């Protein structure tokens, strides 16, 4: 069957190999590479290549345009030029609709697309002199620059946790070992197709109370083995306090993870070790030396005069002191690299400390610590200190990195999109290399509380990417 090649913005289309048009020549080109090489000594062989990037692709198709008369033929070529100008305008202003080139080799199988950035139509040298024009035929080169990748149709991913496997899975605001109450979803490595990493489209729909949602954090971890054994949440009651300076008291509370929290009290202004955890060698190996954002969920919001610090003892590392935010039960307490660093062996008696300091001493009620890898942060848009629009029940928070003009938005229960949220951090990607993926979630409500019984319905989809056909 004939190849399918066309330009479209999904409001209109110009076909290059059907009707009055014939595709004479086209080969999809691979992206060129830009590299950075480092050789520390002028006489040393070889060197290191710390960075490799791929450039946008410039290619062309030779098309024989036709029509019932010359005006119709020229109108078709003019439509191609209009689409190419529309693509340029979209790049400049993010206004209107993006334009894509679509290709289906052999006219069967999946159709892939690549966004157009610019281009031109150039007539063949013999178009007029050879008499083509009089036969309402014009041979032209359509030359353009597009993205360095091709992407297929949007596909929904099957997600799973202890609550089940589905295209939509529920997560809770804790992970305490109760069946069906997880704050993560997993994606099987075999379910991601394509040849190249691709951004993930996330849809998050709140359940539970009618209270509006506040900040929401989504984390990603992809690992080839050991993911199911990875410990990412540590109950505060399971950790131990520094008994010489801190008094620890368990507090029963069904609204907390595992049904209890721990009250830590100290009476000195100097820094004290509030809690420490001794992870197992297996846990260290599963963390694989990665960087993690660490969040704490408190039974009651801590004082804004409290400062916390993460520290590793054994292979010494100490993070910065982080000042807590007033009236928030979920707090970001720092970024933490978990030793052993790649290639440095086993755990070997390493201990994690959470240190605290507050003038005159203090008291906190901690529920759990959560280790989240790369994060994507979502916050409601505010104006002069007032939130413009909040996410309520049956709204859906959508993060679609391919929607370049406004990738993060709220979709109301009647299908109206509202730009009520903004996203921070890099988009989450999935990798088609067989690795398992896990997505983590933690959030609070508009009033700063963070009930562990709160839920989100999670859906995820992607477009498989490839560089060549």
Mean pLDDT of 267-288: 81
Average pLDDT over residues 341-366: 78
Share of the chain above pLDDT 90, in %: 56
Would you say residue 459 has pLDDT above 80? yes
What residues does CATH 2.40.30 cover in the chain? Answer: 4-37+47-148
pLDDT for res 403 = 81
Collect all residues with Cβ–Cβ distance below 8 Å to 150 and sequence separation of at least 6. 28, 103, 112, 113, 114, 465, 466, 467, 469
**Low-confidence winner among 153-162, 208-217, 287-296, 416-425 (lowest mean pLDDT):** 208-217
CA atoms within 13 A on the CB side of 133: 10
Q: How far apart are CA 60 and CA 55, in angstroms?
A: 16
Q: What is the mean pLDDT of residues 243-252?
A: 85
Report the distance separating Cα 193 and Cα 201, nearest Å.
Answer: 15
Q: Is the pLDDT assigned to residue 104 strictly greater than 60?
A: yes
Give the three-state DSSP class for 224. coil
Q: Can you give the pTM of this predicted structure?
A: 0.89
Asked if the model's pLDDT at residue 343 lies above 70, the reply is: no
More confident residue, 137 or 211: 137
DSSP string for 375-413: EEEEEE-EETTEES--B-TT-EEEE-TT-TT-SEEEE-T
Mean pLDDT of the chain: 88
User: Which residues make Cβ contacts (< 8 Å) with residue 282, sequence separation at least 6?
Assistant: 226, 229
Residue 210 pLDDT > 70: no
User: What secondary structure letter does DSSP report for 108?
Assistant: -
Judged against a pLDDT cut of 90, whether residue 100 lies above it is answered with: yes
Which is it for strands 396-399 and 260-266: parallel, antiparallel or unpaired?
A: unpaired
Q: What is the pLDDT of residues 58-94, one digit of tens each?
A: 999 999 999 999 999 999 999 999 999 999 999 998 8
Class level of CATH domain 4-37+47-148: mainly beta
Share of the chain above pLDDT 70, in %: 92
Mean predicted confidence (pLDDT) in 7-26: 96
Question: What confidence score (pLDDT) does residue 348 get?
Answer: 58
pLDDT at 346 over 60: no
Residues of the chain with CATH 2.60.120.260: 155-466
Cβ density class 413-424: b for 16+ within 10 Å, e for less: eeeeeeebbebe
Contacts of 134 (CB under 8 A, 6+ apart): none
Residue 284: the pLDDT is 73
- What is the mean pLDDT of the segment spanning 190-218? 86
Q: What is the mean pLDDT of residues 308-323?
A: 86
Mean of the pLDDT values across residues 125-152? 87
- The pLDDT confidence band at residue 329, using thresholds 50, 70 and 90, is very high
228 has pLDDT over 90? no
Asked if residue 253 has pLDDT above 80, the reply is: yes
What homologous superfamily is domain 155-466 in, according to CATH? Galactose-binding domain-like (2.60.120.260)
Token pair 């979630």 in the structure block, residue? 441
pLDDT score of 307 more than 90: yes
- Identify the pLDDT of residue 169: 95
The answer to whether the Cα torsion of 228, 229, 231, 233 is positive or negative is positive
Give the whole-angstrom CA distance, residue 173 versus residue 431. 26
Whether the CB-CB separation of 440 and 207 falls below 8 Å is answered with no
Residue 380 binned pLDDT confidence (cut-offs 50, 70, 90): confident
Mean per-residue pLDDT, 97-101: 96
Give the model confidence (pLDDT) of 391-446 as tens digits. Answer: 777 789 999 998 877 789 888 777 777 778 889 998 999 999 888 899 999 999 88
| Residue 342: pLDDT over 60 | no
Is the model's pLDDT at 46 over the cut of 90? no
The four Cα atoms 245, 250, 254, 258 give a dihedral, to 10 degrees, of 80
According to the model, what pLDDT value does residue 304 have?
A: 93
| Average pLDDT estimate for 101-114 | 93
pLDDT of residue 312: 84
Q: Tell me if 420 sits within 8 A of 163, measured CB to CB.
A: no
> Given this model, what pLDDT does residue 339 score?
67
């Amino acid at each position: 069957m004939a190849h399918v090649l066309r330009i479209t913005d999904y409001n209109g289309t110009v076909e290059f190999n059907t009707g009055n048009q014939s595709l004479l020549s086209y080969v999809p080109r691979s992206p060129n590479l830009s590299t950075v090489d480092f050789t520390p000594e002028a006489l040393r062989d070889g060197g290191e290549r710390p960075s490799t990037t791929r450039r946008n692709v410039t290619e062309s198709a030779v098309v024989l345009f036709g029509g019932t008369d010359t005006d119709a033929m020229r109108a078709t070529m003019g439509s191609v030029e209009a689409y190419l100008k529309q693509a340029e305008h979209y790049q400049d202003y993010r206004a209107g609709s993006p334009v894509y080139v679509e290709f289906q080799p052999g006219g069967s199988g999946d159709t892939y697309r690549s966004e157009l950035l610019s281009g031109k139509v150039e007539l063949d040298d013999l178009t007029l002199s050879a008499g083509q024009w009089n036969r309402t035929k014009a041979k032209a080169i359509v030359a353009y620059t597009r993205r360095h990748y091709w992407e297929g149709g949007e596909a929904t991913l099957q997600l799973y946790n202890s609550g089940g496997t589905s295209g939509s899975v529920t997560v809770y605001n804790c992970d305490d070992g109760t069946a069906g109450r997880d704050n993560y979803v997993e994606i099987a490595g075999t379910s991601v197709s394509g040849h190249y990493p691709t951004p993930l489209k996330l849809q998050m729909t709140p359940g539970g109370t009618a209270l509006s949602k506040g900040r929401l954090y989504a984390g990603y971890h992809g690992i080839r083995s050991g993911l199911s054994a990875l410990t990412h949440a540590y109950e505060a009651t399971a950790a131990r306090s520094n008994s010489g300076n801190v008094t620890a008291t368990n507090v029963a509370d069904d609204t907390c993870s595992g049904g209890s929290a721990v009250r830590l009290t100290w009476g000195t202004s100097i820094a004290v070790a509030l809690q420490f955890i001794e992870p197992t060698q297996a846990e260290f190996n599963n963390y694989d030396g990665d960087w993690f954002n660490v969040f704490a969920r408190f039974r009651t919001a801590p004082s804004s005069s409290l400062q916390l610090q993460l520290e590793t003892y054994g292979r010494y590392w100490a993070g910065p002191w982080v000042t807590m935010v007033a009236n928030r039960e979920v707090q970001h307490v720092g970024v933490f690299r978990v030793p052993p660093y790649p290639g440095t062996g086993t755990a070997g008696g390493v201990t994690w400390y959470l240190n605290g300091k507050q003038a005159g001493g203090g008291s906190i009620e901690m529920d759990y610590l959560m280790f989240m890898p790369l994060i994507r942060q979502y916050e409601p848009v505010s104006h002069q200190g007032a939130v413009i629009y909040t996410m309520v029940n049956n709204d859906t928070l959508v993060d679609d990195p391919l929607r370049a003009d406004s990738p993060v938005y709220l979709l109301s229960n009647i299908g109206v999109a509202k730009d009520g949220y903004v996203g921070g951090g890099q988009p989450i990607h999935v990798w088609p290399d067989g690795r398992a993926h896990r997505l983590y979630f933690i959030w609070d409500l508009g009033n700063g509380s963070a009930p562990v019984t709160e839920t989100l319905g999670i859906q995820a989809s992607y477009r498989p990417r490839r560089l060549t056909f």
